[in-house]
A and B are shown apart, each in its own frame.
Chain A
Amino acid sequence: MLKAIQYINQFFGQVGGEDMADYEPEIREGAVGCAQIFNSLAKDVQVTHTIICGDNFMASRTEEAVARIMKFLEGKEFGIFIAGPAFNAGRYGNACGQIALEVKKRYDVPVITSMNEENPGVELFHKEMYIFRGGSRATSMKKDMEAMVAFAEKIAKGEKLQPASVEGYFPRGVRHQVFMSDLGMQPVMAADRAFDMLLKKLKGEPYQTELPMPKLDRVPIAPAVKDLRKVRLALVSSGGIVPSDNPDRIQSCSATKWGKYDISKLDKLTAPEYKTIHAGYDPEQADKNPNVVLPLDAIRTYQKEGRLGEVDEFFYTTVGTGTTQGEASRMGKEIAAVLHKRNVEAVVLTAT
């Protein structure tokens, strides 16, 4: 038996309607209000405690509400956390997302909620938790609860969890490969899938792309530096230039590490003291002259000519081939934090 705790609002906790929306958070033993429906549908999961909080209280005094609810959970034994269903109620959806996210962070248990696709909570929290596709109104309570229960039971039994479209939750921005046969589908070769898709597209019939275009995460280009003589500049590269012994053992492909190396006493990078470990391009030129990837020689010349001001004592480096966007973004943030501390205001970022 997997123990669950469920979060619901004042209305579904049978405290009252909009007039009770300022109701303070509380925790009650057992399943209260709509949590009783959960328990009546579930076999291997049971709600042992119900948290009830007014939607206004959560919306206007969020920090306090979250803190009080986290206090309730201290010492409680539970393996899964349920919130809602919140239908298309915006404040309630947001409350479910906030609490479930905090529970996930602190207790590392699966968190499940349910919202209608129009609920703004979906956009805010879909990457963080399982949000099941729910109805827009409370009339779909039983159906929405059933979907959450079915999934919670699977988790309780340790069953293999299927993709978002099969289970019925909103995609979390996570993609994995799968054999079609493992999804219970008739296996079809990619060539045949491609042909069938093209034929439908040519005929103007509906078709389903296998890779829906994600929302583009574009970083705006920073405004130009007005006077390069007045800023501190740093060299950063994803071209894999490192001291020849690669002291931090940065990987040649799918890198998860970056390094920072002293160049304060150098006028240029010399071979063989420096080289590239990047496996995604022909290293010949970079190994002969590492400055073609990390242009320290040109930077020093500019400095001597008085066109540049200070240059940071270190250069910062990693490998960009096969490196996931997630890892790249993490390393970028880490490097940026260091640069910020070192009062760097401009960066020459060289790729390959």
Chain B
Amino acid sequence: MKLEIGKFFVKDIVFGTKTGYDKGVLTIDREEALAVVKEDSHITEAELHIVKPGDEVRLVPVKEAIEMRCKVSGGAMYPGVTNPVSPVGSGRTHALKDAALLVVGKHWGSFQDGLIDMSGEYRRHTIYGSMKNLVLVGDTDEEFERHEQQKTNHALRWAGHRLAEYVGKCVAALEPEEIETWELDAVNRRDSKVQALPSVVYVLQPQTQMEAMGYNTLIYGWDGNHIIPTFMHPNEILDGAVVSGSFMPVSSKISTYEHCNNPMVKRLMKEHGKTVNFLGVIMSNLNVAMDQKVRSAFMVAQMAKNLGADGAIVAEEGYGNPDVDYVQTLVELEKVGVKTVGMANECTGRDGASQPLVALDPAANALVSTGNVSQYFELPPMKTVLGELQSMARDGLSGGWEGCVRPDGSLVMENNAMFCSDHPSGYSLKTCVDY
């Protein structure tokens, strides 16, 4: 399977009369873009903003981050979600780089929403603080969940995916500034030099623990709670087959932007044929009941073993309860002789003295730690807030609580609500250390 990603490096985003891209400047026709958002009649209010690194802007409640891109050939963006199901991972995709579309609630937040600062000490806590962002701020008539802590955020998230594709389409016919090619032959059709290298798989455990539908990670539009682990080509991940959910406390979240740019997949692809034989991705899930957790762990181990894997990197989109799935999967892989490295964040408490993972096992002896959800932050006031600051205190965001927002606009919070900050996709520049 061969996928070309044509890249357009965004240096600036401006509003203008026609959506288009020229020499690094992305222009957005606000009216036309908002019309795409409002194709869904459940969107009651929508506005667009542009934020850049250094702007004195705080965004909260941020619900999703999406790369603005489009399929030029070989399928459709977000198949099974905002477009009919079609295979992806081959052909040509054009993407606007160094930029993202951020989806923000105008008023109402939920458990999985988070905060981004575009300047100050906390800007570096999430990759989106270093990017040029188009921001959709909106509200909906989804009354059934307005005052619920758990929200599907369906209308706004889907509006984001439509809008990201709409903007992405402005570079469909243009010549990319750079083309990145991702190619991987069928597992049993590789030359002997590649076969001689240690074989590795990437095991992704996206967040899928809501039993009710509408909250979990989607794979080709299919709820990840309803799968047993399955084998995927890395290109499918990089080409929009996976859409982020609306449940996980946000520092542990993998946004749709990060699925499409998954740095772990990219590193393994780059090393393929040089240091390793990258077999592909085992798409697993995270579960609620113990038999479900164990079933998925067994199946991942079985699949890895029978694909001939010598090594596996396991990444968990979550913390707390799903640590059980994560550690169990590492244990089962080690049991069948597949050497593992795990990648996840920790929850050690504000004093740092709590057990870092809910489940522990001596077999989990090679772990990368991407952050601590309970790290305590004190944020100074910010000149402009997009969204509503009080949502952090009022709406049950995982790292906020009643009274955490002060009248002067400063706030205290736990890392738990810093948007995607632990980046279990692999972007994290943080680790955890002993004191």
Contact = CB atoms under 8 A, between A and B. Distances in A.
Nearest to B361: A213
Interface in B348-401: 348-357, 360-362, 364-375, 396, 398, 401
Interface stretch (A9-17, A192-200, A219-227, A288-296): A192-200
26 contacts: A163-B433, A173-B353, A175-B372, A176-B352, A176-B432, A178-B430, A178-B431, A178-B432, A180-B431, A183-B433, A189-B427, A189-B428, A190-B343, A190-B423, A191-B425, A194-B368, A197-B368, A211-B346, A253-B398, A279-B150, A281-B288, A321-B321, A322-B249, A322-B347, A324-B348, A324-B349
B353 A174 contact: yes
Nearest to A182: B430
B366 A197 contact: yes
A217 B361 contact: no
A253 B396 contact: yes
Contacts of A254: 374, 398, 414, 416
A86 B225 CA distance: 56
A195 B311 CA distance: 10
A199 B371 CA distance: 22
B125 to A, nearest CB: 9
A325 B356 CA distance: 8
A113 to B, nearest CB: 16
A216 B360 contact: yes
Interface stretch (A66-74, A89-97, A202-210, A308-316): A202-210
A6 to B, nearest CB: 24
Given A174-B353, A176-B352, A324 B374 contact: yes
Given A177-B372, A327-B349, A194 B434 contact: no
A284 B198 CA distance: 47
A151 to B, nearest CB: 12
A209 B365 contact: yes
Interface residues of B, number: 78
A306 interface: no
A340 interface: no
B309 to A, nearest CB: 10
Contacts of B375: 176-177
A128 B132 CA distance: 46
Q: Determine which residue in A190, A216, A252 has the highest number of CB atoms from chain B within 10 A of its CB, and name it.
A: A190
Interface string A98-134: 0000000000000000000000000000010000000
A333 interface: no
Contacts of B428: 189-190
A272 interface: no
A282 interface: yes
Given A199-B276, A202-B311, A213-B361, 4 more contacts: A163-B434, A189-B263, A194-B264, A281-B209
Nearest to A203: B198
Contacts of A325: 349, 354-355
A141 B117 CA distance: 49
Tell me which of A191, A252, A327 has the highest count of chain B C-beta atoms within 10 A of its own C-beta.
A191
Contacts of B288: 281
B311 A181 contact: no
A187 B429 CA distance: 6
The 5 closest A-B pairs by CB, nearest first: A191-B426, A171-B434, A324-B349, A324-B354, A174-B352
Given A190-B343, A324-B374, A326-B349, A199 B275 contact: yes
A139 interface: no
Nearest to B197: A202
Contacts of B373: 322
A177 B353 CA distance: 12
Interface string B308-322: 001101010001110
Residue in A172, A174, A321 whose Cβ sees the most chain B Cβ within 10 Å? A174
A251 B401 contact: yes
Interface in B289-341: 310-311, 313, 315, 319-321, 339-341
Contact of A284 (B212, B427, B435): B212
A194 B366 CA distance: 9
A165 interface: yes
B356 A211 contact: yes
B109 to A, nearest CB: 13
B402 interface: yes
B200 interface: yes
Nearest to B434: A171
A252 B149 CA distance: 9
A155 B136 CA distance: 47
B38 interface: no
Given A176-B348, A190-B423, A210-B368, A164 B149 contact: no
B402 A249 contact: yes
A332 interface: no
A215 B368 CA distance: 18
Nearest to B313: A194
Given A195-B267, A197-B341, A190 B368 contact: yes
Interface in A313-350: 321-322, 324-327
A279 B341 contact: no
Contacts of A127: 353
Contacts of B264: 191, 194-195
Task: Among B356, B416, B430, B431, find the residue whose CB has the most chain A CB atoms closer than 10 A.
Answer: B431
B222 to A, nearest CB: 19
Interface in B254-304: 263-264, 266-268, 271, 275-276, 288
Given A183-B433, A325-B349, A192 B321 contact: no
Nearest to A253: B398
Interface in A135-184: 161, 163-165, 171-181, 183
A210 B369 contact: yes
Contact of A177 (B313, B315, B432): B432
A204 to B, nearest CB: 9
A241 to B, nearest CB: 16
B217 interface: no
B268 A210 contact: no
A210 B345 CA distance: 11
A179 B429 contact: yes
Given A191-B264, A322-B320, A175 B352 contact: yes
B357 A175 contact: no
A253 B263 CA distance: 30
A188 interface: yes
A44 B435 CA distance: 23
A175 B423 CA distance: 18
A307 interface: no
A194 B367 CA distance: 8
A327 B354 contact: yes
A177 B268 contact: no
Contacts of A194: 264, 313, 315, 341, 343, 368, 426
A143 to B, nearest CB: 22
A171 B352 CA distance: 12
Interface string B208-225: 011110000000000000
Interface in B14-57: none
B111 interface: yes
A292 B293 CA distance: 21
B249 A172 contact: no
